[in-house]
Structure 1
C-alpha cells in the first residue's frame, strides 16, 4: 500500500478550511529588533498547537531554519522587513483575511520584505465569501487566481506540474523525482513524478493573466503553480499548492523544498544542517526478502561490495522460514541458516547495521497486514526482530516494511520497541523526516526514511523488467550523489542482492563516484540509525543569532554534546565566520561557510553582514 495522496476536493478551500478561527490564544508581544527568524502568519485567536501549523514548524526545524508564529495584530502593529525579512502566508489556517491585513502585507513587501504566499491564504473575506472576480492577493501574486465568479467549482484544477530540471533541483527535488515531460524543448521540461505512479497530480488554482515574474513551476492545463516576482523593493514567492495539506498526506517534499529555497536562496539566512558536519550522503538499504538473496550477497561480499570503504549500509532481513505463504520454505530462515548467519555476522563486522525487514513472511505481510489486524500480525514483527537479534547479538533498531506495507500501528510498535528509523513509501524524494500522515505527525522520535526512486522505478529488478537503459541508471546514481553532496542533504536508495548482482558495472559506478566525492569531504555513507540518532540529538540544540549592527552573533548550546552540529551560512550574505567561544571549525565551499562544532556543550561565533 502506498501512502501518498494528491487529490483535494475542489470545494476544500471553502469547507475544510473555514475551521481556522478557534479559541483565543494570546501570543507574546514581539520585539521589533532584527531577527534571523521567518514569521509564520496565523489569524488572531488561532488555537495552538495545531497540526497544520506544526507541519510548518517541524519543516523549518528539519531544514534548520528559525521560525516564529505571529498573529495578524502583531503583524499589523508595525512588523517591518528589518525585523522579519521573510513572512510565510500558509495554506489551510488563514483562508479568511481582512482588506486591512492584505494592505499591510503589500506595504511590508513594497518596503523590502519577502513573502511566501501559499495557495488559499486570504481566499475568503472575513465574512467567509470569495472576493468578487479574483483573490485580493492577485496583486501580490502577479496573476489572477481564486476565480470563483468565473469558474465556480472548476476554479481548482488537479493535474501534473512541470518545470526545468535545473529549477526543480534548486527547489530540492532530487534527480529521479521528476521525469521528462517534453523532450522537444532545450533544455527538456520535467514533471514531478513518484515511485510506481509516474507523473503525479497536484491541486492548484487556475490562474489567468501574464505573469511578469520568473515562473518556477507551471501546470500544463491550469497556469502558474509557483513563481517569484519583485514587488516594490521586496519580492513574492507565490506557491499555488497546498503545501501543509500535502505534507499531512505523506507528500512533504515540496513544502521542505520551498522552505529551503525561501530561507536559503531568498532570505539568505543561516541554517543548522540536518547532516553531521553538514556532510551529504546516502543510506543504501539492502532488502533481504527471501532465501534466494543469500547466495548473491555472499558472492558480492567476495567482490568487495560490502567492504569497509563502502560502509556502513543498512541491511534489512526478513528472517522467517517462508517467503510468500506459510510452508513454502523459501524464506531465509535466519536462525537455522548457517550461510545466512555467517553472512550477517560478516556484514556486521564490516560496520553495517543489521535490521528487521518486517513481517517474518515477506509477501504474506505485504499482502495482508492492515490497520485492522494488529492483533494477528504483531507477532510477526516480534518473531522477526527476535530472530535478527538472536543472530547478531545486537538490537535491531532499523525497520523496513515488506512491500512497503506500513500500517500506522506497526510504526508505533517499532518506535515503542527501540527502532530509530524506517524505510517508507510516503514522502518520496525527501530526506529523513518525522512523518506526517492523515494530517498529523504520526510519531515523536522514530524517523521515516523515504524511498528515493528513479522515475517510476527504484530497484535493479524493476530496471531490468522495464528495460531502463544502463547508461540512464548510471547517470542517475551519479547525479544523485552530486545532489546530496552539493545540497548537504541525504536520501535513501534501496536494492536487493538478487537484482544488484546482475549489474556489477553499475555497482562500480556507484561506489567509485561515492569514493571520489567522499575524498573531497562532501559525502558519506550513512545508516538509518546514524542519521536518526543524530536528528534526535539535533532536536535538543538551542541556538540564536543576534543582530549586532554590522554582524550577527551566533550562540548555540546542547545539554550534553554539540559534536558535529554544523551551521551553513550563504557567502553572499555573510563574511567568513570567526569562532568566539567553544570548539569550532570554519570551512567553506563555493556557496557557503560551514561552522562545525568539534565538541562541548556550547559554541559561539560571529559573521559580518555583506
Structure 2
C-alpha cells in the first residue's frame, strides 16, 4: 500500500513537472511565433544611397540574383516607424559596410527594439564601429584596427551550413581558394562580449550571433563582403546573405535554379590534338551522355603553342569534324578561346585587339559551320579573359562563360568597371576541389582518388540540398586517374538525376533560364500568421519558376493553386509553376 501511495505521489510529481515544462515550452514557442518577422522583404540600410554606391550595388545585385525582394532604406527613415511596424515591413535588415560606421544612439535604439521584437539584423564589418551602444547590441567590441587574417568555421559542416561550397574549405573549416589554399580576408580587431562566436581567424571573431528570447537575432560578420566581391571573390557575400535570409529570417524567395532543383554544370575543355583520342573514347564509352548534357568547349584551330606548329585540335579535319558532330548530339559545343589555345592565351595582352578578335571569330565560325548551331558558350584559355573580351562575347550573342574567379559561387552577372554588366551574359565561376580544379592539376599534385570522389559526392549533395547551381571543369581526358573520376562523376549524376534530386544542365540552358527568370516581377505579402498573398508575372512565361516559402516542420499548404506543384523539405515549401501562363495570383494557407 505504501508502495502504491509513494508511486502515486512520484507519478504525480513527474506529471506536474512534465505539464509545467510543456506549458513553459509552449509559452516560449508562442512567444517565438508572435515574434516571427511579418515582413517578406529585406531592408538595405545605408547612410546615404549616393555614398559608396558600388557597395550598395554589390548587395543589391546578389539579392536580385538570389531572388530576394529588397528595398534601400536610408538610416534617417528608421525613426519614421515604430519597431513593430518596422518588423512587419522588413523581415530582415542589413547594415552594409562602409556606409554605416557613424550610427547615432537613436538609430541604435530603433534597431535594438526591432531585434527585441523578433527582427533579424545582419551587421557587416565596420557598421556601428564608432557607436559603443551598437557594439553592445551585437555583443562584440570593435576596434578601428583593420588587418588581414584567415576565416575558419571550425569544421566542414559549419562551413557548409554557412553556404560555402564543398571544395572551398579545408578539413578544419578554413575558407580556401583555387591556386591559393587558405585565403586571407580583411578583419577588424574585435572581442566577443555577449555574442556566440560561429567563425574566427584564430584570434578574433569573424562571424557571431546574439539571440533574443523573442526569436530576434543579430548576426555580425567581420569581413567587408562587398569589397571582396568587387575583387573577384563573390562567394562570401552570397553565402552569408543566403544563409542569413533563409536560416535566420526565413524569407520567401524566387529560387535561382531551373525548376527549383539543384543543378551541376560540367564544363569540359579540348585545347589541342592531345585530347582528340580521349574525347573519342569518352563518347564511345558513354561518359559524354545525352541524359547528362555537359558543356564542351573546343579550341578549333590547327595550331596550339605558336602559328604553324600543327599541334591544334584542327576541327576542320574530316575525322575531327565528325567527332565534333557526335559530341554536339550529346552536349553543348562552346568556344575555348581563339583558334590557337596557348598562343591566344599567353599573347592576348600583347596582341592587337583586331588580330585577337580575328582569332575569336575564326574559332566561332569554324564550330558553327560544323555543328550548324550558334556558339553561345565560351571559356578563356589559361583563364585569361580581359574586359574587352567579355564585352565582345556579350555583343556576339554569347550567354555564358566559365571563370576561374569568384570560385565556388553561383552563375552571376559579370562585374566590370566596379558594376555589373548589363545584358544577357552570365559568368559561371568554377568550383575547385581545394587548391586545384581540373583533374590534371589534382593528379599532378597527388590528390588521392578517393578524396576527389568524396568531393564530387559532397558537392552534388550540397547542390541538391540547397537547390543551387554550381560549375566544375576539367579537360576531356581518359588517362586512368581522370577516367576513374569521370566514370564516378557520370554514375553519381545519373543516379541523382534519375531520383529527381539533381539536374545536369549546360551553361546555355542555365543562362537562358536565368535571363527569363530576371524578367519576373513578383510580390509576396503575408496574410495573418498562416497565409501569403502571391502575385507574379513574366512576359516569357512562368513555367519552371519556383517560389520558396518557409512553413515550419510538419506544416503544409491546405491546397495548391491550379497549375502549381509543391515539394516540402526541412520546413520549406518549394512551389513550381507547371503551366503555360505569363501571370498568376493566388492566396496560400498553411496548416
With normalisation by structure 1, the TM-score equals 0.86
Q: How does 1:314-325 map to 2 (within 5 A)?
A: 314-325=295-306
The structural deviation recorded for 1:436 is 2.4
Output the CA distance in 1 between the equivalents of 2:349 and 2:100: 35
Aligned twin of 2:205: 224
- 1:403 positional shift: 0.8
Can you list the C-alpha shifts for 1:401-454, whole angstroms capped at 9, x where unaligned?
001111011010001000000000111110101132453213432100001100
1:158-307 to structure 2, matched below 5 A, reads 158-163=148-153, 164-180=155-171, 189-213=172-196, 215-221=197-203, 223-231=204-212, 233=214, 234-307=216-289
Match for residue 483 of structure 1 among 441, 446, 462: 462
Corresponding position of 1:99: 105
**How far apart are the structure 1 equivalents of 2:106 and 2:569?**
45
Partner Cα separation in structure 1 for residue 586 and residue 351 of structure 2: 53
- Quick one: distance in 2 between partners of 1:138 and 1:437? 35
Residue-by-residue CA offset, 1:90-114 (whole Å, 9 max, x unaligned) = 1123333322212221222222211
Q: 1:50 is matched with which residue?
A: 53
CA positional deviation for 1:171: 1.5
Tell me which moved more, 519-528 or 392-401.
519-528
Contact 2:141 2:193 in 1 (8 A): no
Q: How far apart are residue 461 of structure 1 and its match?
A: 1.0
| Conserved? CA contact 1:284–1:494, under 8 Å | yes
Separation in structure 2 between the aligned mates of residue 573 and residue 85 of structure 1, nearest angstrom: 19
Cα offset, 1:137, TM superposition: 2.3
| TM-score calculated relative to the size of structure 2 | 0.88
* Residues 113 and 235 in structure 1, CA contact (< 8 A), matched pair in contact too: yes
Q: 1:330 and 2:311 equivalent? A: yes
Give the deviation of 1:123 after TM superposition: 2.8
- In structure 2, the residue matched to 1:59 is 62
Structure 1 alignment gaps of length 5 or more: 1-32, 125-130, 149-154, 181-188
Greater helix percent: which structure? Answer: 2
Find the counterpart in structure 1 of residue 71 from structure 2: 68
What residue in structure 2 maps to residue 527 of structure 1?
506
Give yes or no for the alignment of 1:347 onto 2:327: yes
- Maintained 8 Å contact 1:580/1:605: no
Question: In the alignment, what sits opposite 1:82?
Answer: 88
Is 2:118 aligned against 1:112?
yes
Deviations 1:267-290 (A, max 9, x none): 111111111111112111010101
Q: CA RMSD in A?
A: 2.1
- Structure-1 residue corresponding to 2:45: 41
Q: Residue 376 of structure 2 contacts residue 397 of structure 2 at CA under 8 Å; is this kept in 1?
A: yes
Corresponding residue of 1:435? 414
* Residue correspondence of structure 1 range 440-519 to structure 2 within 5 A: 440-498=419-477, 502-519=481-498
Q: Answer whether contact 2:551 2:572 (CA < 8 A) is retained.
A: yes
Moved more, 56-65 or 465-474: 56-65
Distance in 2 between the 1:354 and 1:268 partners?
A: 39
Higher Rg:
2
Question: How far has the Cα of 1:122 moved from its partner?
Answer: 3.0
CA distance in 1 between partners of 2:387 and 2:459 (Å): 30
Conserved? CA contact 1:580–1:604, under 8 Å? no
Q: Report the Cα distance in structure 1 between the residues aligned to 2:319 and 2:480, rounded to whole angstroms.
A: 18
Please list, as runs of the form range in 1=range in 2, the aligned pairs for 1:25-36 lying within 5 A after superposition: 34-36=38-40
